[in-house]
Amino acid sequence: MLSERELERYDRQVMIFGREGQEKLKNSKVAVVGVGGLGSPVAYYLAAAGIGTLLLIDEQKPELSNLNRQILHWGEDLGRNPKPISAKWKLERFNSDVKIETFVGKLTAENIDEVLDGVDVIVDCLDNFATRFLLDDYAHRKRIPLVHGAVEGTFGQVTTVVPGLTKSLHEIFGVVKEKSGKFPIIGATAGVVGSIQVMEVLKLLTGIGEPLTNRLLIIDLAYNTFDVVELR
C-alpha cells in the first residue's frame, strides 16, 4: 500500500499511471547494471519514480574523468567509494522510500544467477558488449525484459528486449567489435539516453504506451535526429 506521503510525492505521475500503476512500481525490483554515465541518470530517475527496490551493480570506483557524465558521483567519492555505494548514499537521502541494494563486483557467468535473483527488469547501462551478451543470455533464460542503452559522443541507441517477443541483443548486434580505450562522450548524451531507458522501464512495469520492442531508437544529438528502425 502506498503511504499518504508517497501519494503526495508521486501525485503528478499517479495522474498518468493511476494508483495501481504506482503500486506496481513500488512492488518492483529493477537492476541497474553499470552505475556510470547511463547508470547515474537511470538510477536517479528510477528512484524518483518510486521503484520499490533498485539493485546497483558496478565494480569500479569513480575517477575524476568520469565526472563529466556520471552525475551520481561527486568529488568526495573519487577513489574512495565504489560506484554502487557512492550512488546508494545519495539515492537513500533523495528518496528514503526506495530500497537500494548493491553488488560491488563484476558480473560473471558464475555469479549472475545469484546476483540478479528476483529482478523484474534489467537496465543495461554497461560499457562493453561482452557483459551485455551475458545479461542477454540471462534475460532469455529467466524470461526477464532487458532495456538496452549505449552511448558514444553525441550518439545513442535504445531498444527493449523481451524474451519470446523480440530479437535478442545477439541477434540484433551480432559480433560487435569492441573499441578498446577511452571513447568520447558528453554527459548530456548519457542523460538523454538514460532518461529514455527509464521511460522504457516505466512503460514495461505500468503498461502505458509502447516500449521499444522490436525497434531500435538511434539518436544523434549533434543534429537532433531521432530514428526508429524496425527490427522484426
| Residues at the interface with other proteins (CB under 8 A) | 34, 36-39, 124-129, 132, 149-153, 155-157, 172-179, 183, 185, 190, 216, 218, 220, 223, 225, 227-232
**Nearest-approach distance from CB 190 to other proteins, in angstroms:** 8
Measured between its terminal Cα atoms, the distance across the chain in Å is 39
Q: Which is nearer to other proteins, 16 or 229 (CB)?
A: 229
Q: Which residues pair with 185 in a beta bridge?
A: 153
**Nearest-approach distance from CB 6 to other proteins, in angstroms:** 31
Q: Which is nearer to other proteins, 84 or 156 (CB)?
A: 156
**Nearest-approach distance from CB 138 to other proteins, in angstroms:** 17
Instruction: Dig out the grid coordinates for 21 from the structure.
Output: 500503476
Residue 2 burial (C-beta neighbours within 10 Å; 0-12, 13-18, 19+): middle
User: What does the alpha-carbon distance between residue 204 and residue 228 come to, in Å, rounded to a whole number?
Assistant: 18
**Nearest-approach distance from CB 32 to other proteins, in angstroms:** 11
Instruction: Dig out the grid coordinates for 202 from the structure.
Output: 516505466
Of 147, 97, 154, nearest to 126 by C-alpha is: 147
Q: Which is nearer to other proteins, 38 or 54 (CB)?
A: 38
| Phi-psi region at 153: left, alpha or beta (left = phi > 0; alpha = psi -120 to 50) | left
Q: Which is nearer to other proteins, 26 or 69 (CB)?
A: 69
Q: Which is nearer to other proteins, 88 or 132 (CB)?
A: 132
User: What does the alpha-carbon distance between residue 119 and residue 53 come to, in Å, rounded to a whole number?
Assistant: 9
Q: Which is nearer to other proteins, 8 or 183 (CB)?
A: 183
Q: Which is nearer to other proteins, 14 or 112 (CB)?
A: 112
Tell how far CA 185 is from the center of its chain. Answer: 17
Instruction: Dig out the grid coordinates for 109 from the structure.
Output: 557467468
**Nearest-approach distance from CB 194 to other proteins, in angstroms:** 9
**Nearest-approach distance from CB 143 to other proteins, in angstroms:** 23
Task: Taking the CA atoms of 200, 59, 100 and 144 in sequence, report the sign of the dihedral they define.
Answer: positive
**Nearest-approach distance from CB 12 to other proteins, in angstroms:** 29
The DSSP-derived string for 51-111 is -SEEEEEE-PPP-GGGTTT-TT--GGGTTTS-HHHHHHHHHHHH-TTSEEEEEES---TTT
